[in-house]
Structure 1
Amino acid sequence: MGRIPAAERRAELVAAAVRVIAAEGVDGATTRRIAQEANAPLATLHYCFAAKEVLFAAVFEHVAGQYREVLTRNDVHGDVATTARALLRGVIEWYLANPDFGAAIVELISWGQRQEGQQAEMVYNEASATLRAILEAAATAAGQPVDPDTIDALTYIVSTLSDGFALNWLVFTDPTAAERQIDLTLGVLDAWMAAHLGNTSAPAASPSQASPAKLVS
Protein backbone atom coordinates (compact mmCIF):
# COMPACT_ATOMS: atom_id res chain seq x y z
CA MET A 1 0.00 0.00 0.00
CA GLY A 2 1.43 3.40 -1.01
CA ARG A 3 2.29 6.08 1.45
CA ILE A 4 -0.58 8.53 2.08
CA PRO A 5 0.41 12.17 1.36
CA ALA A 6 0.65 14.36 4.45
CA ALA A 7 -2.10 16.74 3.29
CA GLU A 8 -4.50 13.84 2.72
CA ARG A 9 -3.65 12.33 6.09
CA ARG A 10 -4.23 15.68 7.81
CA ALA A 11 -7.64 15.96 6.14
CA GLU A 12 -8.54 12.44 7.30
CA LEU A 13 -7.54 13.25 10.87
CA VAL A 14 -9.57 16.46 10.86
CA ALA A 15 -12.62 14.60 9.52
CA ALA A 16 -12.13 11.92 12.15
CA ALA A 17 -11.91 14.58 14.85
CA VAL A 18 -15.27 15.99 13.73
CA ARG A 19 -16.89 12.54 14.01
CA VAL A 20 -15.40 11.85 17.44
CA ILE A 21 -16.36 15.28 18.78
CA ALA A 22 -19.93 14.76 17.53
CA ALA A 23 -20.18 11.36 19.20
CA GLU A 24 -18.20 11.87 22.40
CA GLY A 25 -17.82 15.61 22.89
CA VAL A 26 -14.63 17.61 23.09
CA ASP A 27 -13.58 15.98 26.36
CA GLY A 28 -13.86 12.54 24.78
CA ALA A 29 -11.93 13.56 21.67
CA THR A 30 -8.50 12.43 22.79
CA THR A 31 -5.70 12.22 20.25
CA ARG A 32 -5.65 8.44 20.69
CA ARG A 33 -9.38 8.17 20.00
CA ILE A 34 -9.13 10.45 16.96
CA ALA A 35 -6.21 8.47 15.54
CA GLN A 36 -8.19 5.28 16.04
CA GLU A 37 -11.19 6.75 14.22
CA ALA A 38 -8.93 7.74 11.32
CA ASN A 39 -7.28 4.29 11.24
CA ALA A 40 -3.94 6.00 11.70
CA PRO A 41 -1.08 5.40 14.14
CA LEU A 42 -1.03 7.82 17.05
CA ALA A 43 2.51 8.79 16.04
CA THR A 44 1.16 9.91 12.65
CA LEU A 45 -1.33 12.25 14.31
CA HIS A 46 1.43 13.80 16.41
CA TYR A 47 3.56 14.15 13.29
CA CYS A 48 0.78 15.97 11.44
CA PHE A 49 -0.29 18.06 14.43
CA ALA A 50 2.29 19.06 17.03
CA ALA A 51 -0.39 19.41 19.72
CA LYS A 52 -4.08 18.79 20.23
CA GLU A 53 -4.67 22.54 20.13
CA VAL A 54 -3.16 22.65 16.65
CA LEU A 55 -5.48 19.85 15.53
CA PHE A 56 -8.50 21.65 16.95
CA ALA A 57 -7.45 24.87 15.21
CA ALA A 58 -7.47 22.90 11.95
CA VAL A 59 -10.92 21.57 12.82
CA PHE A 60 -12.23 25.11 13.31
CA GLU A 61 -10.76 26.10 9.94
CA HIS A 62 -12.47 23.08 8.39
CA VAL A 63 -15.81 24.10 9.92
CA ALA A 64 -15.43 27.64 8.58
CA GLY A 65 -14.56 26.23 5.15
CA GLN A 66 -17.66 24.03 5.17
CA TYR A 67 -19.86 27.05 5.87
CA ARG A 68 -18.27 28.98 3.00
CA GLU A 69 -18.75 26.05 0.65
CA VAL A 70 -22.41 25.55 1.58
CA LEU A 71 -23.21 29.25 1.20
CA THR A 72 -21.37 29.56 -2.10
CA ARG A 73 -23.02 26.42 -3.45
CA ASN A 74 -26.48 27.79 -2.65
CA ASP A 75 -25.93 31.24 -4.16
CA VAL A 76 -28.63 31.29 -6.84
CA HIS A 77 -27.57 34.71 -8.21
CA GLY A 78 -31.12 36.01 -7.90
CA ASP A 79 -32.50 39.11 -6.23
CA VAL A 80 -31.90 39.67 -2.52
CA ALA A 81 -35.03 37.89 -1.26
CA THR A 82 -34.61 34.88 -3.56
CA THR A 83 -30.94 34.60 -2.67
CA ALA A 84 -31.51 34.90 1.09
CA ARG A 85 -34.20 32.24 0.93
CA ALA A 86 -31.96 29.88 -1.03
CA LEU A 87 -29.07 30.41 1.38
CA LEU A 88 -31.22 29.69 4.44
CA ARG A 89 -32.75 26.59 2.87
CA GLY A 90 -29.33 25.40 1.73
CA VAL A 91 -27.81 25.67 5.21
CA ILE A 92 -30.83 24.01 6.82
CA GLU A 93 -30.76 21.10 4.38
CA TRP A 94 -27.02 20.76 4.95
CA TYR A 95 -27.66 20.40 8.69
CA LEU A 96 -30.31 17.77 8.00
CA ALA A 97 -27.93 15.79 5.80
CA ASN A 98 -24.96 16.13 8.18
CA PRO A 99 -26.18 15.70 11.77
CA ASP A 100 -22.71 14.65 12.98
CA PHE A 101 -21.23 17.85 11.66
CA GLY A 102 -23.93 19.91 13.32
CA ALA A 103 -23.38 18.18 16.65
CA ALA A 104 -19.63 18.73 16.38
CA ILE A 105 -20.14 22.44 15.64
CA VAL A 106 -22.24 22.91 18.80
CA GLU A 107 -19.58 21.15 20.88
CA LEU A 108 -16.75 23.13 19.29
CA ILE A 109 -18.43 26.52 19.64
CA SER A 110 -19.17 25.85 23.31
CA TRP A 111 -15.60 24.67 23.91
CA GLY A 112 -14.08 27.50 21.90
CA GLN A 113 -15.82 30.14 23.98
CA ARG A 114 -14.09 28.78 27.08
CA GLN A 115 -10.64 29.07 25.53
CA GLU A 116 -8.35 32.08 25.33
CA GLY A 117 -8.44 32.25 21.54
CA GLN A 118 -11.26 33.50 19.34
CA GLN A 119 -11.78 30.43 17.19
CA ALA A 120 -15.55 30.32 17.71
CA GLU A 121 -15.84 33.98 16.72
CA MET A 122 -13.70 33.26 13.66
CA VAL A 123 -16.19 30.67 12.41
CA TYR A 124 -19.13 33.04 12.83
CA ASN A 125 -17.30 36.08 11.45
CA GLU A 126 -16.21 34.21 8.32
CA ALA A 127 -19.67 32.77 7.75
CA SER A 128 -21.24 36.22 8.20
CA ALA A 129 -18.73 37.83 5.86
CA THR A 130 -19.46 35.25 3.15
CA LEU A 131 -23.22 35.58 3.61
CA ARG A 132 -23.06 39.37 3.58
CA ALA A 133 -20.94 39.43 0.42
CA ILE A 134 -23.40 37.17 -1.40
CA LEU A 135 -26.38 39.31 -0.39
CA GLU A 136 -24.59 42.53 -1.36
CA ALA A 137 -23.74 41.04 -4.76
CA ALA A 138 -27.37 40.00 -5.22
CA ALA A 139 -28.57 43.53 -4.44
CA THR A 140 -26.09 45.03 -6.90
CA ALA A 141 -26.90 42.55 -9.67
CA ALA A 142 -30.65 43.06 -9.22
CA GLY A 143 -30.34 46.84 -9.04
CA GLN A 144 -31.94 46.87 -5.59
CA PRO A 145 -31.06 49.85 -3.37
CA VAL A 146 -30.60 48.00 -0.07
CA ASP A 147 -28.73 49.94 2.59
CA PRO A 148 -25.82 48.28 4.47
CA ASP A 149 -27.71 48.18 7.79
CA THR A 150 -30.51 46.18 6.19
CA ILE A 151 -27.98 43.78 4.63
CA ASP A 152 -26.36 43.35 8.05
CA ALA A 153 -29.74 42.70 9.65
CA LEU A 154 -30.66 40.17 6.94
CA THR A 155 -27.32 38.43 7.44
CA TYR A 156 -28.07 38.15 11.15
CA ILE A 157 -31.62 36.88 10.55
CA VAL A 158 -30.50 34.13 8.16
CA SER A 159 -27.72 33.05 10.53
CA THR A 160 -29.95 33.05 13.60
CA LEU A 161 -32.78 31.15 11.91
CA SER A 162 -30.39 28.48 10.63
CA ASP A 163 -28.77 28.12 14.07
CA GLY A 164 -32.13 27.78 15.76
CA PHE A 165 -33.28 25.16 13.28
CA ALA A 166 -30.04 23.23 13.75
CA LEU A 167 -30.38 23.08 17.53
CA ASN A 168 -34.00 21.93 17.31
CA TRP A 169 -33.05 19.26 14.76
CA LEU A 170 -30.21 17.97 16.97
CA VAL A 171 -32.56 17.69 19.94
CA PHE A 172 -35.56 16.04 18.28
CA THR A 173 -34.15 14.45 15.09
CA ASP A 174 -37.65 14.07 13.67
CA PRO A 175 -37.46 14.19 9.84
CA THR A 176 -41.22 14.59 9.41
CA ALA A 177 -41.41 17.53 11.80
CA ALA A 178 -38.24 19.00 10.28
CA GLU A 179 -39.87 19.25 6.87
CA ARG A 180 -42.68 21.35 8.37
CA GLN A 181 -40.17 23.39 10.33
CA ILE A 182 -38.31 24.29 7.15
CA ASP A 183 -41.46 25.92 5.77
CA LEU A 184 -42.11 27.70 9.06
CA THR A 185 -38.54 28.98 9.29
CA LEU A 186 -38.59 30.22 5.71
CA GLY A 187 -41.93 31.86 6.44
CA VAL A 188 -40.35 33.86 9.26
CA LEU A 189 -37.66 35.03 6.85
CA ASP A 190 -40.29 35.90 4.23
CA ALA A 191 -42.24 37.98 6.76
CA TRP A 192 -39.14 39.94 7.74
CA MET A 193 -38.12 40.53 4.14
CA ALA A 194 -41.65 41.63 3.19
CA ALA A 195 -41.46 44.27 5.91
CA HIS A 196 -37.94 45.46 5.08
CA LEU A 197 -37.36 44.68 1.39
CA GLY A 198 -40.83 44.88 -0.09
CA ASN A 199 -42.42 41.92 -1.90
CA THR A 200 -40.43 38.70 -1.68
CA SER A 201 -39.98 36.39 -4.62
CA ALA A 202 -41.66 33.47 -2.89
CA PRO A 203 -44.82 33.36 -0.77
CA ALA A 204 -44.47 33.05 2.97
CA ALA A 205 -45.37 29.71 4.49
CA SER A 206 -48.84 29.58 6.00
CA PRO A 207 -48.78 29.46 9.83
CA SER A 208 -51.53 26.86 9.67
CA GLN A 209 -49.18 24.31 8.14
CA ALA A 210 -47.97 23.23 11.56
CA SER A 211 -48.94 24.07 15.11
CA PRO A 212 -46.23 24.82 17.73
CA ALA A 213 -47.06 21.59 19.54
CA LYS A 214 -46.51 19.52 16.40
CA LEU A 215 -43.31 21.35 15.53
CA VAL A 216 -41.56 20.26 18.73
CA SER A 217 -43.06 16.78 18.91
Structure 2
Amino acid sequence: MGVINMASVTLYLVRHGQTYFNIYNKLQGWSNSPLTDKGLADAKSAGERLANVSFAAAYCSDTTRAQQTAATILTENNVSNVKQPISSPFFREQFYGSFEGENMNYVWDQVGRPHGLNGFKEIEEKYSIAKAKDFMKEADPFHDAESNDEYWHRIDRGFDLIRENDDLSDGDNVLVISHGNTLLSLMERYGGGKYDLSVRPENGSVTRLALDDQKITVLGYNEK
Protein backbone atom coordinates (compact mmCIF):
# COMPACT_ATOMS: atom_id res chain seq x y z
CA MET A 1 0.00 0.00 0.00
CA GLY A 2 1.26 3.45 -0.85
CA VAL A 3 0.77 6.69 1.03
CA ILE A 4 -1.81 8.94 -0.60
CA ASN A 5 -0.36 11.87 -2.45
CA MET A 6 -2.95 14.26 -1.08
CA ALA A 7 -3.23 17.90 -0.16
CA SER A 8 -5.58 17.15 2.72
CA VAL A 9 -8.48 15.08 3.99
CA THR A 10 -10.66 16.22 6.89
CA LEU A 11 -10.94 13.86 9.84
CA TYR A 12 -14.09 14.08 11.97
CA LEU A 13 -13.03 12.59 15.31
CA VAL A 14 -16.05 11.81 17.49
CA ARG A 15 -15.62 10.82 21.11
CA HIS A 16 -17.61 7.64 21.76
CA GLY A 17 -20.87 7.85 23.68
CA GLN A 18 -21.01 7.68 27.47
CA THR A 19 -20.22 4.27 29.01
CA TYR A 20 -20.82 2.77 32.43
CA PHE A 21 -17.12 3.16 33.28
CA ASN A 22 -17.48 6.88 32.45
CA ILE A 23 -20.27 7.12 35.05
CA TYR A 24 -18.28 5.10 37.61
CA ASN A 25 -15.16 7.26 37.04
CA LYS A 26 -13.06 4.23 36.11
CA LEU A 27 -10.03 4.19 33.82
CA GLN A 28 -11.14 2.74 30.49
CA GLY A 29 -8.33 2.34 28.04
CA TRP A 30 -8.15 -1.07 26.39
CA SER A 31 -10.81 -2.38 28.78
CA ASN A 32 -14.40 -1.88 27.80
CA SER A 33 -17.87 -1.24 29.19
CA PRO A 34 -21.14 -0.88 27.29
CA LEU A 35 -22.71 2.38 26.20
CA THR A 36 -25.39 3.66 28.57
CA ASP A 37 -28.76 4.88 27.30
CA LYS A 38 -27.26 8.36 27.35
CA GLY A 39 -24.26 6.99 25.44
CA LEU A 40 -26.51 5.68 22.70
CA ALA A 41 -28.21 9.09 22.63
CA ASP A 42 -24.77 10.79 22.44
CA ALA A 43 -23.96 8.71 19.36
CA LYS A 44 -27.35 9.38 17.76
CA SER A 45 -27.01 13.12 18.40
CA ALA A 46 -23.56 13.15 16.79
CA GLY A 47 -24.96 11.21 13.85
CA GLU A 48 -27.77 13.72 13.40
CA ARG A 49 -25.31 16.62 13.44
CA LEU A 50 -23.12 14.87 10.87
CA ALA A 51 -26.00 13.46 8.81
CA ASN A 52 -25.17 15.58 5.77
CA VAL A 53 -21.39 15.16 5.86
CA SER A 54 -20.32 12.81 3.09
CA PHE A 55 -17.76 10.36 4.50
CA ALA A 56 -15.47 8.49 2.13
CA ALA A 57 -14.28 6.15 4.90
CA ALA A 58 -14.80 5.45 8.60
CA TYR A 59 -12.43 4.12 11.27
CA CYS A 60 -12.71 3.18 14.93
CA SER A 61 -10.91 1.22 17.61
CA ASP A 62 -11.80 -2.43 18.10
CA THR A 63 -13.68 -1.69 21.33
CA THR A 64 -17.43 -2.14 21.57
CA ARG A 65 -18.03 1.45 22.66
CA ALA A 66 -16.29 2.79 19.55
CA GLN A 67 -17.89 0.29 17.19
CA GLN A 68 -21.39 0.99 18.53
CA THR A 69 -20.85 4.74 18.20
CA ALA A 70 -19.58 4.38 14.65
CA ALA A 71 -22.48 2.16 13.60
CA THR A 72 -25.02 4.61 15.02
CA ILE A 73 -23.45 7.62 13.30
CA LEU A 74 -23.27 5.85 9.95
CA THR A 75 -26.90 4.73 10.28
CA GLU A 76 -27.96 8.36 10.78
CA ASN A 77 -25.95 9.57 7.77
CA ASN A 78 -27.95 10.58 4.69
CA VAL A 79 -25.20 11.09 2.11
CA SER A 80 -22.44 8.50 2.63
CA ASN A 81 -22.00 5.12 1.00
CA VAL A 82 -19.88 3.89 3.92
CA LYS A 83 -21.83 1.36 5.96
CA GLN A 84 -19.14 -0.22 8.16
CA PRO A 85 -16.11 1.27 9.91
CA ILE A 86 -12.62 -0.18 9.64
CA SER A 87 -11.75 -1.36 13.17
CA SER A 88 -8.15 -1.36 14.35
CA PRO A 89 -6.29 -1.51 17.68
CA PHE A 90 -4.26 1.46 16.40
CA PHE A 91 -7.22 3.70 17.33
CA ARG A 92 -7.61 2.42 20.89
CA GLU A 93 -7.39 4.67 23.92
CA GLN A 94 -4.17 4.79 25.93
CA PHE A 95 -3.41 1.47 27.65
CA TYR A 96 -3.38 1.93 31.43
CA GLY A 97 -1.82 -1.47 32.23
CA SER A 98 -2.74 -2.91 35.63
CA PHE A 99 -4.63 0.31 36.45
CA GLU A 100 -7.35 -0.56 33.92
CA GLY A 101 -10.79 -0.43 35.55
CA GLU A 102 -9.56 1.33 38.71
CA ASN A 103 -10.98 4.60 40.06
CA MET A 104 -9.44 7.46 38.08
CA ASN A 105 -8.83 9.78 41.04
CA TYR A 106 -7.17 7.05 43.09
CA VAL A 107 -4.88 6.01 40.22
CA TRP A 108 -3.75 9.50 39.30
CA ASP A 109 -2.97 10.20 42.97
CA GLN A 110 -0.80 7.07 42.99
CA VAL A 111 0.89 8.14 39.76
CA GLY A 112 1.54 11.69 40.94
CA ARG A 113 2.61 11.00 44.52
CA PRO A 114 6.25 9.99 43.77
CA HIS A 115 6.61 13.38 42.07
CA GLY A 116 4.96 15.38 44.87
CA LEU A 117 1.76 15.88 42.90
CA ASN A 118 -1.89 15.08 43.52
CA GLY A 119 -3.94 13.95 40.55
CA PHE A 120 -3.91 14.27 36.79
CA LYS A 121 -4.55 18.03 36.73
CA GLU A 122 -1.40 18.80 38.76
CA ILE A 123 0.69 16.47 36.59
CA GLU A 124 -0.62 18.08 33.41
CA GLU A 125 -0.11 21.63 34.74
CA LYS A 126 3.45 21.08 36.02
CA TYR A 127 4.60 18.73 33.26
CA SER A 128 2.32 17.54 30.42
CA ILE A 129 -0.12 14.83 29.37
CA ALA A 130 2.84 13.21 27.63
CA LYS A 131 4.76 13.06 30.92
CA ALA A 132 1.67 11.69 32.68
CA LYS A 133 1.90 8.64 30.42
CA ASP A 134 5.52 8.05 31.38
CA PHE A 135 4.73 8.55 35.08
CA MET A 136 1.90 6.00 34.82
CA LYS A 137 4.20 3.42 33.23
CA GLU A 138 6.65 3.95 36.11
CA ALA A 139 3.88 3.60 38.72
CA ASP A 140 2.28 0.50 37.16
CA PRO A 141 3.66 -2.48 39.14
CA PHE A 142 3.75 -4.49 35.90
CA HIS A 143 5.02 -1.53 33.80
CA ASP A 144 2.52 -2.53 31.11
CA ALA A 145 0.92 0.92 30.85
CA GLU A 146 1.92 2.64 27.61
CA SER A 147 4.74 5.17 27.77
CA ASN A 148 4.37 8.32 25.71
CA ASP A 149 6.64 6.92 22.99
CA GLU A 150 4.79 3.58 22.90
CA TYR A 151 1.45 5.36 22.75
CA TRP A 152 2.36 7.62 19.83
CA HIS A 153 4.04 4.83 17.92
CA ARG A 154 0.67 3.03 17.92
CA ILE A 155 -1.51 6.10 17.29
CA ASP A 156 0.70 7.27 14.42
CA ARG A 157 0.21 3.86 12.80
CA GLY A 158 -3.52 4.62 12.86
CA PHE A 159 -3.02 7.88 10.98
CA ASP A 160 -0.78 6.04 8.52
CA LEU A 161 -3.54 3.48 8.02
CA ILE A 162 -5.77 6.32 6.82
CA ARG A 163 -3.01 7.78 4.66
CA GLU A 164 -2.52 4.37 3.03
CA ASN A 165 -6.17 4.11 1.96
CA ASP A 166 -5.89 4.26 -1.84
CA ASP A 167 -9.63 4.89 -2.16
CA LEU A 168 -9.33 8.33 -0.54
CA SER A 169 -8.98 11.48 -2.63
CA ASP A 170 -7.98 15.05 -1.90
CA GLY A 171 -10.78 16.85 -0.05
CA ASP A 172 -12.50 13.73 1.29
CA ASN A 173 -14.06 13.53 4.75
CA VAL A 174 -13.20 10.62 7.07
CA LEU A 175 -15.06 9.61 10.24
CA VAL A 176 -12.89 8.43 13.15
CA ILE A 177 -14.35 7.33 16.49
CA SER A 178 -11.93 8.38 19.20
CA HIS A 179 -11.47 8.49 22.98
CA GLY A 180 -11.21 11.17 25.65
CA ASN A 181 -7.54 11.02 26.60
CA THR A 182 -6.54 10.51 22.97
CA LEU A 183 -8.32 13.71 21.99
CA LEU A 184 -6.59 15.59 24.81
CA SER A 185 -3.26 14.12 23.71
CA LEU A 186 -3.88 15.22 20.13
CA MET A 187 -4.65 18.76 21.29
CA GLU A 188 -1.45 18.85 23.35
CA ARG A 189 0.60 17.65 20.40
CA TYR A 190 -1.06 19.59 17.56
CA GLY A 191 -3.20 22.32 19.15
CA GLY A 192 -0.46 24.90 19.57
CA GLY A 193 -1.46 25.70 23.16
CA LYS A 194 -4.86 27.05 22.08
CA TYR A 195 -7.02 24.57 23.99
CA ASP A 196 -7.81 24.05 27.68
CA LEU A 197 -6.46 20.59 28.43
CA SER A 198 -8.00 20.56 31.90
CA VAL A 199 -11.45 20.09 30.33
CA ARG A 200 -12.19 16.64 28.94
CA PRO A 201 -13.97 16.51 25.57
CA GLU A 202 -17.65 15.60 25.83
CA ASN A 203 -19.02 12.22 24.81
CA GLY A 204 -20.34 12.58 21.28
CA SER A 205 -18.35 15.77 20.63
CA VAL A 206 -16.64 16.38 17.29
CA THR A 207 -12.99 17.33 16.78
CA ARG A 208 -11.87 18.12 13.24
CA LEU A 209 -8.33 17.63 11.93
CA ALA A 210 -6.77 18.25 8.53
CA LEU A 211 -4.54 15.31 7.61
CA ASP A 212 -2.09 15.18 4.74
CA ASP A 213 1.02 13.12 4.05
CA GLN A 214 3.20 15.46 6.11
CA LYS A 215 1.25 16.94 9.00
CA ILE A 216 -1.89 17.21 11.13
CA THR A 217 -3.64 20.54 11.72
CA VAL A 218 -6.45 21.16 14.22
CA LEU A 219 -9.56 22.70 12.66
CA GLY A 220 -11.89 22.49 15.65
CA TYR A 221 -12.07 20.82 19.06
CA ASN A 222 -14.83 19.45 21.29
CA GLU A 223 -17.64 20.81 19.13
CA LYS A 224 -21.17 19.84 20.18
Q: Please indicate the TM-score interval, normalised by the length of the shorter structure.
A: under 0.3
Relative to its length, the structure with more strand (as a share) is 2
Q: Which has the higher contact order (CA 8 A, sep 6+)?
A: 2
TM-score in terms of structure 1 length: 0.25
For the pair shown, the structure with the greater C-alpha radius of gyration is 1
Relative to its length, the structure with more helix (as a share) is 1
TM-score in terms of structure 2 length: 0.25
